Structure 1
Amino acid sequence: MTTDQNTAPTPTPTSTPSAGIDPIRVDVWSDIACPWCYIGKRKFEKALTVTGIPVEIEYHAYELAPDLPEEFEGSEQDYLEIRGFTADQVQPLLSRIVAAAKAVGLDFNYDILRHTNMLKGHQLIRWAKAEGHQLDMVERILAAHFEEGRHVGRDEDLAELAAEIGLDREKALSALREGRYADDVRADEAKARQLGIQSVPFYVFENTYGVAGAQDPAAFADILRQLAEKKQETTQ
């Protein structure tokens, strides 16, 4: 089942949401290679379930390792050492990430994870946005990368992921081969620099309030409630 890319599925609230307000705009800068982006996604979704407040979400590209080749042959240890971690820091870090993922219902598997350049993956997400299914594509590509060990840097593999959420494989493949959305990815990254974003995930609420990191669901819920109350005040 697919959903509209801009509007998150209506959750079943466990507290009474603010009634009659327009959706809260949420722009998320995220990288496919970022484990905390996937963990943060689940935490934010939990906040939506708790509050029942409607949101309009758009994902934006942010590459943590833009110089990585499409076919990276190294291990997770190799990748993290390239990213500046020492050898004795890697296993404690991975253990902490896997535990944090498990706590929100995700099953990260670093034994099979395949690192790659994420430019094409971000282009696919932008193409899926144009097709009206960005949120579905974000979820599918993150699961493929972190839980399934799929290659998310090659045109053909990415087109298969598009087909798995009901989109046209050949259209996706054509867009990727042409690099049709590369400029959109670069525009996202330029906007991130303009906003001073230096790490992801990074959430911008209502084009005004910036929040960094995979916050706890309660923190996200508090932000959403405060913004909903302000929206109500302006409409009264």
Structure 2
Amino acid sequence: MTTGLDADDLENILQIDIVSDVVCPWCIVGFKQLEQAIENTGASAAIKWHPFELNPDMPQEGENLRAHIMRKYGTTAEQSQETRDRLTGLGAGLGFDFSFTDDMRMVNTFKAHQLIHWAGPEGKEHPLKMALFEAYFKDGKDVSDTETLADIAAGQGLDRNEAVRVLEDGRFADVVREEESFWRQNGIEGVPAVIFERRHMISGAQGAENYASIIRQLVDNEAA
């Protein structure tokens, strides 16, 4: 699997665009399933991440995660725990640790998406995205906080001071909003949304076998 390639390098490489949010547990599950499918098929793939906010109106202070899920989706505390247990099991099988806690909070992710956009030309989009997933779901960090985000960026070899400036001056705010709007206008209302070769969109975490089947079909079609 490859990330951040130039256009000239993409010949014979499967292009996969993923629309997601860093506080979406099914997004990291879906990616890990996709990653497994790519490895199992031996395909070469270029991954490009795109922004989506599950809660664009979430205030800076955030909201208790369980309370948020119960309010937004009408679930009970028992159903919420069942989902957490399921995700924890799925994650463990895919090599990703979910560490849910009672005080975990849902937060606004607009700054996180701006940071990811900035990291793209630096060749750090993918590792930063992975680090943000881990920071939120494993380490319980506030991925809406500027200083926390700057620390995460620095951990991936990016300039911490510049990361702070990027988030404080909002230089990429408009372009991120435009891209979010683009995906919504093209019918994406939930994530993850995985687009193969800019033509075939699959919604949700569909499992490694299903992803592998899609990849094989696309590779076979290209070879035909």
Q: TM-score, normalised by structure 1?
A: 0.86
Q: 2:40 matched to 1:6? A: no
Deviations 1:125-151 (A, max 9, x none): 111112121111110000000001111
Question: Aligned match of 2:198 in 187, 207, 224?
Answer: 207
2:2–2:45 contact (8 Å) kept in structure 1? no
- Counterpart residue number, 2:124: 133
Cα distance in 2, alignment partners of residues 93 and 22 from structure 1: 39
Residue type of the alignment partner of 2:33:
K
Cα distance in 1 between the residues matched to 2:135 and 2:174? 24
Aligned to 1:171: 162
Q: Match for 1:114 among 99, 105, 121?
A: 105
- Aligned runs of 1:13-52 on 2, under 5 Å? 22-52=12-42
CA distance in structure 1 between the partners assigned to 2:71 and 2:169 by the alignment? 30
User: Shift of residue 86 of structure 1?
Assistant: 3.0
Q: How do 1:62-141 residues align onto structure 2 when only pairs under 5 Å count?
A: 62-72=52-62, 74-88=63-77, 89-111=79-101, 113-141=104-132
Change beyond 3 A, Cα 1:21–1:222:
farther
Contact 1:201 1:213 in 2 (8 A): yes
CA RMSD of aligned residues (A): 1.9
Unaligned runs of 5+ in 1: 8-19
Q: Matched residue of 2:105: which SS? A: coil
- Once the two structures are TM-superposed, the CA of residue 209 in structure 1 deviates from its matched residue by 0.5
Preserved contact between residue 141 and residue 152 of structure 1 (Cα < 8 Å): yes
Query: Aligned partners of 2:219, 2:175: CA distance in 1, in Å?
Result: 30
Alignment deviations for residues 57-80 of structure 1 (CA, whole Å, 9 cap, x no partner): 1111111111112222x4322121
The farther-off stretch of 114-123 and 96-105 is 96-105
Structure 2: runs of 5 or more not aligned: none
Identify if the C-alpha distance between structure 1 residues 4 and 130 changes in structure 2 by more than 3 Å, giving closer, same or farther.
farther
* Match status 1:192 vs 2:183: yes
Aligned length: 218
* TM-fit CA distance, 1:198: 1.6
